[in-house]
Amino acid sequence: MPVVHRRPGRHIGRMIEPRPDPLSLFADWFAEAERGEPNDPNGMALATVGPDGTPSVRMVLLKGYDSDGFVFYTNLQSRKGQHLAAHPKAALLFHWKSLRRQVRIEGPITPVTAAEADAYFASRARGSQLGAWASDQSRPLGSRFALEKKVAEVTARHVVGTVPRPPHWSGFRLAPTLIEFWRDGAFRLHDRLEYRRPDNAAPWTTRTLYP
């Protein structure tokens, strides 16, 4: 009889068990990723849409989540910042390769409050704070020297004391209307559990999808 090989981490059998609140399931999966994913368990792909309808995707870091949504921070003048200002909807994707799991999230975008942005900016390393002032994110850079010169100029302006948050630097919150949990299965018979709701105040509905 031929031997069937299956990659470690794959499962056969019981499907993902639905819960009333997808945030509970996300919290468990995220905690496992923090324990087992070797690099950036909070790394997530962020997809936005440009003025001409062309999609754009890049990696960002999740900096908080709760029942109101998933929060990340950026330069508001960056490409993604401009996209989100013009088209305040986005999609997120967490892919935890070592766990063979992923989570897709879609929904509308709103800015975080100034107090939230100030609090998070104050928690960043000083070098990252200075970098936020020095980087004209997504705009053409003539040379590495030009960037290093701007960093030196910003550092000279803030030798002592706290570094204030730049006016062009803040965050966004995605309020999920769709969350899909995906788990790798043997023979490509993956598990897919989808949660949907029309808005933040509505209850979640669930359905299991074919792989």
- Cα angle 48-53-54, degrees, rounded to a multiple of 5: 65
Extract long-range pairs of 117-120: CB within 8 Å, 24+ residues apart.
Answer: 117/73, 117/165, 117/169, 117/170, 117/171, 118/165, 120/63, 120/64, 120/73, 120/171
Residue 100 CA to its chain's centroid (Å):
18
The tokens of 98 are what? 């070592």
Centre a 10 Å sphere on the Cβ of residue 50 and count the other Cβ atoms it contains.
14
> Annotated catalytic sites, by residue?
188
